[in-house]
A and B are shown apart, each in its own frame.
Chain A
Amino acid sequence: MALLEVKGLEVGYGGISAVRGIDLAVEEGELVALIGANGAGKTTTLKALAGMVPPSRGSVHYDGQSITRLPSYQLIRKGIALVPEGRGVFTRLTVEENLAMGAYIRDDRAGIRADLERIFGLFPRLKERRAQVAGTLSGGEQQMLAIGRAMMSRPRLLLLDEPSMGLAPLMVQKIFEVIDAISKDGVTILLVEQNAKLALQAAARGYVMESGEIVLADAADVLLASTQVRQAYLGE
């Protein structure tokens, strides 16, 4: 059984349905990409999976349990962490305070210390700027911080929303290297991206979303090679 299993998920905002009955599954340890154009419903899907918006229909199972209508503060305790779109770092807190906030649900001080060092190992840049206010970091550094902060809750399933958004190409490269490293560490990742090429290169499998529905689902290299994806998302 897959770690995350979504069946017939529907999410609406006041009568307008943004997600219209999608099925998807993520196996333990897998890196899965969810790609699609702006407004396709990718972010809404992630928000529903993270318990930030309630689904109107369908079911979500995680580790064999139904988590369909659980709120975010319960899901994160089960190991599901979201890196929100636009990063959402606490701009007036320092890098270190941000990371400490990521460990909000934990109280094992020694473990938190160790994880902090681990995150600093993953992002040496954050270590250099540990006492700096997060709002003064560059966009890429803020994205690193957002990912690091989510990792501080020791997630089993990491939901990443547009980590490449608004970043310089070199920084995007770096962020994807880190995502790869986290994945190799055994963390299951569901990655939402507009940058289809990069996402599919990093992922093992991919889903393509259009107007709230999943229109394609296949191995990442198959999607990369398919004419439909190439024409619609890779601009070829």
Chain B
Amino acid sequence: MMSLFRDGASSKQASRAAIVLIALVLIALPFALAQAGTAWVRITNLAILFALLSLGLNIVVGFAGLLDLGYIAFYGVGAYCYALLASPHFGLHLPFWVILPIGAAVACLFGVLLGAPTLKLRGDYLAIVTLGFGEIIRIFLNNLSQPLNITNGPQGVTLIDPFRVGSFNFSKPEQWFGLAVSGPIKYYYLLLVVLVLVMIVNVRLQDSRIGRAWVAIREDETAAQAMGINTRNVKLLAFAMGASFGGIAGGMFAAMQGFVSPESFVLVESIMVLAMVVLGGMGNIWGVVLGAILLSFVPELLRYTVEPFQKAVFGKTLIEPEVIRMLLFGLALVLMMLYRPAGLWPSRTRRRELARAKRAR
């Protein structure tokens, strides 16, 4: 997976220098973005959140080959866990380092709940069940306001606590060394740290015995069984791990927004995350992160360019930016699947498969 660093002719020193350079750019990035407007920092934060989600879904879809169309449900579960345990809704205000693990654990439980009954399903059938599961969770969130008000229904939960460590508040703007550091910038650094941690966990998982078992199951489940892999447990583990990462991302989302409602966890979001995984390169950690960042940014860029462009050329807005955005987005996906079906940055095995298909033609 680290093939970029391993195979390259670059020496260890060069790759170390590259890492330092990338780190510096990432550290300076939010201040540069803040020049263009805090909105861009928020967009970046959302992009990182989606990268976390994509990494989680990549475990299920990319590593283990289990098509999951309801993944956003785990994000929702994590978000609501945080919202309910750190807001005036129940009057609970637990610190985030307590809630995030709870959110991950609850999401993990839901992952197993989804995984257990679907163990024997594959491909399309699994996709349909997971799709239904995602909808069930959303509908529950929407309706669990009566007779006992748990989720506050479609209104959602408001006034959610931001992350706090002692007197350090993540949502309060501050001055550091004469630099204006807004709330989103603080969250940016936190998200970046979490992203790096999650990526390290993913790389380690991929190279582990479990990672190999996932590959075997993805390639041929019967043969995997014959290799001595406990396919039941290993599949459940994929669901559980993927769900936990979704739960953590959800908790961070709730804290950053200060508000959650069922609307954030609709089917389109599941499909969006899946598109990030597929477009970036299923099974490749770097590709998946790239896919998430591209698909988060490009639509925003379009949002800011489509309208001024039309105004300048036609003098008025002919087509709503939202419409064009989805149109271009769809077109991009179609073109991608035609010309780079293994994704922008494919995993090793997928690249091989692609090369073989070409040769066969």
Beta-carbon contact of B226 and A90 below 8 Å = no
**Which stretch in B207-215, B265-273, B315-323 binds the other chain?**
B207-215
For the complex, give the distance between the alpha carbons of A91 and B219 in Å.
7
- B219 proximity list for chain A (CB < 8 A): 90-93
- B11 proximity list for chain A (CB < 8 A): none
Beta-carbon contact of B223 and A104 below 8 Å = no
11 contacts between A and B (CB under 8 A): A83-B226, A84-B222, A84-B223, A92-B219, A92-B352, A101-B212, A104-B209, A104-B212, A104-B213, A104-B229, A153-B228
- A72 proximity list for chain B (CB < 8 A): 225-226, 228
Beta-carbon contact of B230 and A73 below 8 Å = yes
> Which residue of chain A is the closest to B355 with respect to CB atoms?
A133
Measured CB to CB, the closest approach of chain B to A203, in angstroms, equals 22
Contacting residues of chain A (74-106) with chain B, CB-CB under 8 angstroms: 76-77, 81-84, 88-93, 100-102, 104-105
Chain B interfacial residues counted at CB < 8 A: 21
Beta-carbon contact of A81 and B226 below 8 Å = yes
> Which residue of chain A is the closest to B221 with respect to CB atoms?
A88
- A92 proximity list for chain B (CB < 8 A): 219, 349-350, 352-353
Beta-carbon contact of B356 and A89 below 8 Å = no
B25 within 8 A of A: no
Among B209, B230, B231, B349, max chain A CB count under 10 A is at B349
- Chain A: number of interface residues, binned into ranges: 20 to 34
B7 within 8 A of A: no
Beta-carbon contact of B356 and A136 below 8 Å = yes
Contacting residues of chain B (126-157) with chain A, CB-CB under 8 angstroms: none
The 8 closest A-B pairs by CB, nearest first: A76-B228, A88-B223, A90-B219, A105-B228, A73-B230, A104-B227, A92-B349, A73-B228
A52 within 8 A of B: yes
Contacting residues of chain B (215-257) with chain A, CB-CB under 8 angstroms: 215-216, 219-220, 222-223, 225-231
Beta-carbon contact of A76 and B353 below 8 Å = no
Measured CB to CB, the closest approach of chain A to B3, in angstroms, equals 15
Beta-carbon contact of B356 and A133 below 8 Å = yes
Beta-carbon contact of A135 and B356 below 8 Å = yes
Measured CB to CB, the closest approach of chain A to B57, in angstroms, equals 21
Residue B223 contacts which of A77, A89, A153 (CB distance < 8 angstroms)? A89
Beta-carbon contact of A77 and B225 below 8 Å = no
For the complex, give the distance between the alpha carbons of A116 and B260 in Å.
55
- Given A52-B222, A91-B219, is A133 in contact with B228 using a C-beta cutoff of 8 Å? no
Measured CB to CB, the closest approach of chain B to A54, in angstroms, equals 13
For the complex, give the distance between the alpha carbons of A104 and B208 in Å.
11
Measured CB to CB, the closest approach of chain B to A15, in angstroms, equals 18
- Given A52-B222, A88-B223, is A104 in contact with B349 using a C-beta cutoff of 8 Å? no
- B212 proximity list for chain A (CB < 8 A): 100-101, 104
- Given A52-B222, A90-B216, A136-B356, is A102 in contact with B227 using a C-beta cutoff of 8 Å? yes
Beta-carbon contact of A73 and B356 below 8 Å = no
A12 within 8 A of B: no
For the complex, give the distance between the alpha carbons of A150 and B212 in Å.
16
For the complex, give the distance between the alpha carbons of A52 and B231 in Å.
11
Chain B proximity mask over A124-150: 1 for CB below 8 Å, otherwise 0: 000000000101100000000000011
For the complex, give the distance between the alpha carbons of A6 and B225 in Å.
22
- B216 proximity list for chain A (CB < 8 A): 90, 101, 104
Measured CB to CB, the closest approach of chain A to B62, in angstroms, equals 13
Beta-carbon contact of A88 and B349 below 8 Å = no
- Additional A-B contacts beyond A92-B349, A105-B228, A149-B227 (17; CB < 8 A): A52-B226, A76-B226, A76-B228, A77-B228, A81-B226, A90-B223, A92-B350, A92-B352, A101-B216, A104-B213, A104-B216, A104-B227, A133-B352, A133-B356, A135-B353, A136-B356, A153-B227
